[in-house]
Structure 1
Amino acid sequence: MKDYTELAHFIIEHVGGTENVKALTHCVTRLRFILKDESIADTNALKNNDEVLDVIQKGGQYQVVIGNHVEDVYDKVIEVGKFVNDNSSDDTKKQGIFNKFVSIISGIFNPLLGLMCACGIIKGLSVFIAALGLISNKSGTYIIINSTGDTVFYFFPVFLGYTAAEKFKMNKFVGAAIGTALVHPNIIALKGAAPLFAVLKGTIFQSNVTTTFAGIPVIMMSYANTVIPTILAVFVASKFEKFFKKIVPSVIKSFFVPALTLLCGVIITLLIVGPVSVWISDALGHLFYFLHDLSPMITGLVVGSTWQILVMFGVHQGITPIMINNIIANGYDNVICCMQAVPFVTCAVVFAVYLKTKDKKLKKTALPAAISSFFGVSEPSIYGVTLPLKTPFIITLVSSGIGGAIMGALGSTMYTMGGMGLFAFPAYINPKKGFDMSFYGTIIAVVVAMVIGFVTTFIVYKDKNSENEATTEKKEEDIEEFITQEVFSSPVRGNVIPLAEVKDEVFASELTGKGVGIIPEEGKIYAPADGKVTMLFKTNHAIGLKTKSNADLLIHIGIDTVNLEGKGFTAVVKEGDVVKKGDLLIEFDKEFLKANNYDDTVIFVVTNTDQFQDVLVGNEKKADSQSELLAVAV
């Protein structure tokens, strides 16, 4: 396994240091920080690191997108930063209501998603082989496999109790004990007793009172497989715990506080919190199914077309529990599950780009990203291919919306929390009827959406440097005739190479913008245009300028030279300085870089390329301060 110690140090330093980190979790592809002050994090430095796909600030979280190996990086960050693996930050004072909600839900559910997917795969496997007739659903083999997969869902209150306690900063084992009490056989048995009377008669919330506690009627509910009751129960219990910690003497605190918290938490939950939260769960389920019944096709269209955007901003974590609640409360979900086509459409679109492009660097990025999407992890495709290219991203959204609409129209239904991508299909098999339109409709929707995405991309997509061959040739012959905004000279004297030949994946794939590489002949960096210094890395190996046309220019000296920690680099200017074209910005020691085995290629890019009609690249092979290398065009 690769050693991520260096990357961990880099990430911790550029999120503001260990003292700026309040909490850290991770999902499938992202490190999810909650920072004390996001403004001191060096987002640009993180984005420019070739092992970071992107940085997203959303939902009260500072998300560093790593990719499929995020768990290894997470473990190393925890080790290097000496963090406690604690998802319990309550940093909500500066967040809005929605951000608070996303932060809480993410903290509670993220640690469980991997296990839930694993159990979903096992449960789906049992249904799949039974549907094929390989085993009977009455056999011991089926029951053992199915029960193993069902474990996390049946005892969900126990797992949720633990993670919710982490989030609400209370004793985690007391939280788990509260969840356990809700599924204790004796408490469950009380629901089956003869009803004393009913409440809310004639409504969807009608419930029986089957027992009493100290003379107080108890509305017994089924808490196995529930979501909201456990979360609210632990939240209420956390308040009790804080209160008891203040009043219980220290000599007996270690056992009296847990005892009182558990007792009060369970009693209050059974009397008030439990019934109310079950009614909330029922109301949510009815609301979504009401919308689905109004128009399954439109509901599926909306879910399918917006899901990737939700994933991109990380707020899908606030919606996934709705699907979980639907499955657990009703035994199925036919609303949120309409996002099933999304990873497959992404795979098809990215694979079409892979086949169509002549850019070797893009090919290298696209193929593994497409494979990753096929198995349900789409972030590498989003940040590495579709989003930077724009048109493929739009095609993905439209095609996924069509897939969702077809799923809605054909009644696709998810019966268990399945795996991701390919491994999610068994979750659409009806455990009672086997292969029905729920399963076939999902297959049809995914295939149709993939074909639409692939064909459209294959027809529409063209490499930017080949969209208009005649114009490109003219640009290379005389760049000035096409400039309507601003021309930029070379920041250093040397030999010019295409950006694709730079030995840095992020720069070479144009994730940071269009530009060129320059193999320097001297250790001096000059201003390529009039502008203002907007960014100067602490290590002085990179500098950013804002020009009069609002172009953001990045001049990055060498590959991985941030590791030199400033040795060999001397800045002549500082952040905020106004400079003129030709002004000396940075001096660096070429010989020192070579002696330490560092590539000294200077990367010169326009980082806000997408804000211009085009970024034009000249045909200069040899550059000096008078050579016009780049220009932005309206």
Structure 2
Amino acid sequence: MAAKDCDDLSREILEHVGGTSNIRSVAHCITRLRFKLKDVSKADTEVIEALPGVIKVMNANGQYHVVVGNKVEDVYDSFLAVSGLTGGGEVAADDGEDEHKTVAAIAIDLISGIFQPMLGTFAAAGIMKGILACIVQLWPEFQNDGAYTMLYTVADGFFYFLPVILAYNAAKKFKMSEFNAMAIALSLVYPTMVGLTSGEVIGSISLGFLGTFSWYATFLGIPIIMPAAGYTSSVIPILLMIAFAAQLERWVKSWMPASVRMFFTPLVVVTVSVVLGYLVIGPVATAITNLLGAFFQLIFSLPVVGSVLGCTVVAAVWMGLVIFGFHWSLVPIAIMNITNPDLGQDFILASIIAHSFALGAVVFAMYLKNKDPKFRAIALPAMISSFFFGVTEPAIYGVALPDKRAFVVASIGSAVGGLIIGLTGSVIYVVGGLGVFNWLSFVGGTTGFTYMIWAIVASLVAAVLAFGIEFAIYKPEESAQ
């Protein structure tokens, strides 16, 4: 999209969401501009949806979503320039902003706000891990070369220091100093503390399905309980620590004299958060992590039907979850599964490998049968985006969902793909790219390329099935009515 077109679209969107004064904040994900509006009733949704370049408008989980597809970064940058707003930041936020939100809406907004900004880089690191895994499978000696070591830092560095990235994003959501948050996170990945777990275990306690907790040192006689791999690559511990630190920071600022606030506030907040983080919050977070993992392991390990049922259901409902943003509730769990040294793999996101292929195939079938130029102009890029790059929003909102039946067909195809993944026990070893790049996520462990082959089979079967059903039942003249 040309710069002038982006600017024109941005001005129209700004006007019809109620102007700058009605915007609390604006950010973007892979395909959407995400607004927090003071008064949603001031936004003219029908007008915005009719704008050239806008695919769909959604109001979900406390956010006003304007779906513009793959050109979202250009439109976002243009919108910031036109509006004068700061991207992702607060804009005249009022007290009681979440007053009328449901608990679910607040939770989804929190999770998505923390994880969305990093997904592009996170996926890139996952793709590199997949590529290196493929090379090692074909050329084992490469693992001893310095090139492998250097490239692996590109792949694994982001995962290793994940708590620092999450701390920065969480600080923005919890409205605290990003530098204080990162200082807390850095203490979790500090080499001396990480190295403690390689020493002698001086005590341990078993809590059944919550796991066995060991300690390698004490703090004034209090056990410093840590996971065997420390807190590198962890998710829940740092999120809970930042949630606590944000409250502590606000309290400290309320009484700390202004003359010393600049350096004494960080001193108190970081010190207290780190100490309590290691002694209390970390062990509690580890227990929660173990509990979540055990819950999904229980479902997926049910005799005979566990993995098959779990994978099929998750795959069938995934696109429905995407519409309302509820898919974010599963992403952190998948990341925890992969970064857990005792597991190192994930079955949840493995099950949805076929959904973008089924959706792309459905849109392609509609494209072949529908000769309307306007429809085809929307369908072709949506199909390419979904099938090859795994970005499904344009296909969902622009093509499949308005037809309804096409959305169901795509979900059926996705479910069949999930069924194949479940039957074969395939898992992913990294949270990698989307679309065809996601196949690389299945390479690793002792299985070599086996799971990747099944992922490709699941994707193609889902695509062929969905295409066949949609091509047989789709009637453009009925959809136009």
| TM-score past 0.5 threshold | yes
Q: Provide Cα deviations, 1:98-149, integer angstroms capped at 9, x if missing partner.
A: 1111010011111111110111111111111222227533332222222211
3-state SS in 1 of match to 2:26: strand
Instruction: Please point out which of 357, 361, 370 is paired with 1:348.
Output: 361
Task: Report if the CA contact (8 A) 1:323-1:337 is conserved.
Answer: no
1:55 CA displacement = 0.9
Task: Report if the CA contact (8 A) 2:56-2:398 is conserved.
Answer: no
1:241 CA displacement = 0.9
3-state SS in 2 of match to 1:83: coil
What is the aligned partner in structure 2 of residue 414 from structure 1? 428
2:180 maps to 1:167: no
Cα distance between partner residues in 2 of 1:262 and 1:42: 45
3-state SS in 2 of match to 1:373: helix
* Residue identity matched to 2:137: A
What is the aligned partner in structure 1 of residue 415 from structure 2? 401
Instruction: Please point out which of 7, 10, 13 is paired with 2:9.
Output: 7
1:179 CA displacement = 1.0
What is the aligned partner in structure 2 of residue 604 from structure 1? none
Task: Report if the CA contact (8 A) 2:23-2:37 is conserved.
Answer: yes
Higher helix share: 2
Cα distance between partner residues in 2 of 1:37 and 1:5: 24
1:380 CA displacement = 1.4
2:174 maps to 1:156: no
Q: Provide Cα deviations, 1:42-78, integer angstroms capped at 9, x if missing partner.
A: 1122112122111111111111111101111111222
1:11–1:302 distance in 2 versus 1, CA, 3 Å: same
Cα distance between partner residues in 1 of 2:11 and 2:374: 28
3-state SS in 1 of match to 2:211: coil
Cα distance between partner residues in 2 of 1:381 and 1:446: 17
Task: Report if the CA contact (8 A) 2:9-2:52 is conserved.
Answer: no
Cα distance between partner residues in 1 of 2:414 and 2:73: 28
Q: Provide Cα deviations, 1:314-363, integer angstroms capped at 9, x if missing partner.
A: 22223222211211123110123211101111111111112222323322
Cα distance between partner residues in 2 of 1:134 and 1:19: 59
Cα distance between partner residues in 1 of 2:32 and 2:378: 18
Question: Alignment length, in residue pairs?
Answer: 467
What is the aligned partner in structure 1 of residue 298 from structure 2? 290
Runs of 4 or more, structure 1, over 6 Å off, are none
2:472 maps to 1:464: no
* Residue identity matched to 2:322: V
Q: Provide Cα deviations, 1:593-617, integer angstroms capped at 9, x if missing partner.
A: xxxxxxxxxxxxxxxxxxxxxx5xx
What is the aligned partner in structure 2 of residue 181 from structure 1? 187
What is the aligned partner in structure 2 of residue 309 from structure 1? 320
3-state SS in 2 of match to 1:31: strand
Task: Report if the CA contact (8 A) 1:87-1:167 is conserved.
Answer: no
1:214–1:46 distance in 2 versus 1, CA, 3 Å: same
1:19-34 to structure 2, matched below 5 A, reads 19-34=21-36
1:509-528 to structure 2, matched below 5 A, reads none
1:179–1:276 distance in 2 versus 1, CA, 3 Å: same
Instruction: Please point out which of 115, 136, 154 is paired with 1:130.
Output: 136
Cα distance between partner residues in 2 of 1:443 and 1:37: 46
1:239–1:314 distance in 2 versus 1, CA, 3 Å: same
1:542-553 to structure 2, matched below 5 A, reads none
Quote the sequence identity (%): 39
* Residue identity matched to 1:51: G
Q: Give 1 or 2 for the bigger CA radius of gyration.
A: 1
1:159 CA displacement = 0.5
Task: Report if the CA contact (8 A) 1:292-1:335 is conserved.
Answer: no
3-state SS in 2 of match to 1:194: coil
2:334 maps to 1:323: yes
Higher strand share: 1
What is the aligned partner in structure 2 of residue 49 from structure 1? 51
Cα distance between partner residues in 2 of 1:306 and 1:188: 39
What is the aligned partner in structure 2 of residue 85 from structure 1? 87
Q: Provide Cα deviations, 1:546-580, integer angstroms capped at 9, x if missing partner.
A: xxxxxxxxxxxxxxxxxxxxxxxxxxxxxxxxxxx
1:391 CA displacement = 2.3
Cα distance between partner residues in 2 of 1:337 and 1:434: 16
| Ranges in structure 1 where 5+ consecutive residues have no aligned partner | 466-509, 515-614, 616-634
1:433–1:399 distance in 2 versus 1, CA, 3 Å: closer
Task: Report if the CA contact (8 A) 1:54-1:65 is conserved.
Answer: yes
1:203 CA displacement = 4.6
Cα distance between partner residues in 2 of 1:80 and 1:49: 17
What is the aligned partner in structure 2 of residue 141 from structure 1? 147
What is the aligned partner in structure 2 of residue 267 from structure 1? 275
Cα distance between partner residues in 1 of 2:344 and 2:66: 35
1:151 CA displacement = 1.1
2:266 maps to 1:253: no
1:247 CA displacement = 1.8
1:87 CA displacement = 5.3
TM-score (norm 1): 0.71
Instruction: Please point out which of 236, 241, 246 is paired with 1:228.
Output: 236
TM-score (norm 2): 0.93
1:461–1:421 distance in 2 versus 1, CA, 3 Å: same
Cα distance between partner residues in 2 of 1:202 and 1:347: 45
2:65 maps to 1:63: yes
* Residue identity matched to 1:144: M
Q: CA RMSD in A?
A: 1.8
